[in-house]
Amino acid sequence: MGSLKEVRTRIASVSSTQQITKAMKMVSAAKLRRAQDAIIQMRPYANKLREILENLSQNLESSAGGAYTKVRPVNNVLIIAVTSNRGLCGGFNANVIRTVNRMIATRYNELNKTGNVKVWSIGKKASDFYSKQKTMFAGQSNTLFTELNFANVAPLAEQFMKEFVDGKYDHIELVYNHFKNAAVQNVSAEQFLPLQPPTSKEKPVNKFIPDYIFEPVKEDLVKELIPKALKIQLYKSLLESHAGEHGARMTSMNKATDNAQELLKALKLSYNKARQAAITGEILEIVGGAEALNN
């Protein structure tokens, strides 16, 4: 047990930390509400757009989607890792990095040995990790979360789409945290390109398909909708990750605040015991001195 001064210093330090974690929890809760509203509003639009695209693609040849649906032998792979710019959010960032590393080690191990697997990081935490691996690091976009909107995300999606069409990459994967609720974020790995039409297994059985009159023809509509769908997919993924970050941070700060409270209880108990021991010692010294004078 430390001295009274040491225990008092620790109590003051833990109390200060508890105030910080409590404030960070409240800030994250406020930001989570806005981020959650944004992703809830985006999901119906993104899902409906993909449903329309799938309905249009059901009776078309696979080549009708143009260059974005073209399947080539996989010789060069790009993995887009989406993390946050800040820490203190539990395993939020580590889970994405771990998933990307596992994907590279298992699915693309042979290509990685020849340097044909690249990682593009969105968020400083992924950039800090992969920028040290020069042969693997393809680039970074760390300012998107500063002002997250479709206008800022669309140019990055267009860059990935152009690199795929030009043949720089044959396969592009997207790894991010899918927001479920404030306490749960599931790491999701999605194929970004090539975009494949639904297979026969994905087609609903006995589902009524409306017979629309299309103007212009289906092929032109598909080619127009695919770039928009890809941009929306990337934007939606960033919104999911953004909401998940604040949820993870709020949960982490809540746990940190509770842990600080438990630690304060233990420190105050130790302080009281040390104080009682010091008082008892002083009383014994006084009694002993008084008896010595009487004798």
Please enumerate, as own/partner, the contacts of 184-187 that have beta carbons within 8 Å and a separation of 24 or more.
184/247, 185/92, 185/95, 185/244, 185/247, 185/248, 187/95, 187/96, 187/99
Active site residue 78: no
pTM summary value: 0.84
Buried b (16+ CB within 10 A) or exposed e, 199-230: eeeeeeeeeeeeeeeeeeebbebbbebbbebb
Catalytic entry in 89, 161, 248, 250: 89
| Per-residue model confidence (pLDDT) at position 200 | 46
Write down the H helix ranges in the chain: 4-57, 92-106, 109-113, 124-130, 150-165, 218-294
Confidence bin at 46 (pLDDT 50/70/90): confident
Express as a percent the part of the chain with pLDDT over 90. 62
For 23-253, the fitting CATH number among 3.40.50.720, 3.40.1380.10, 3.20.20.140, 3.40.190.10 is 3.40.1380.10
Sign of the dihedral defined by the CA atoms of residues 270, 274, 277, 283, in that order: negative
Tens-digit pLDDT profile for residues 183-195: 889 999 999 998 7
| Per-residue model confidence (pLDDT) at position 212 | 63
| Per-residue model confidence (pLDDT) at position 182 | 84
User: Please, what is the average pLDDT of the chain?
Assistant: 87
Tens-digit pLDDT profile for residues 132-165: 988 899 999 999 998 899 999 999 999 999 999 9
Distance CA 56, CA 66 (A): 14
Distance CA 131, CA 285 (A): 65
| Per-residue model confidence (pLDDT) at position 209 | 59
Domain spans in the chain, listed from the N-terminal domain onward: 4-20+260-294, 23-253
200-219: average pLDDT: 61
98-110: average pLDDT: 94
Q: Which residue has the tokens 């260059």?
A: 67
| Per-residue model confidence (pLDDT) at position 35 | 92
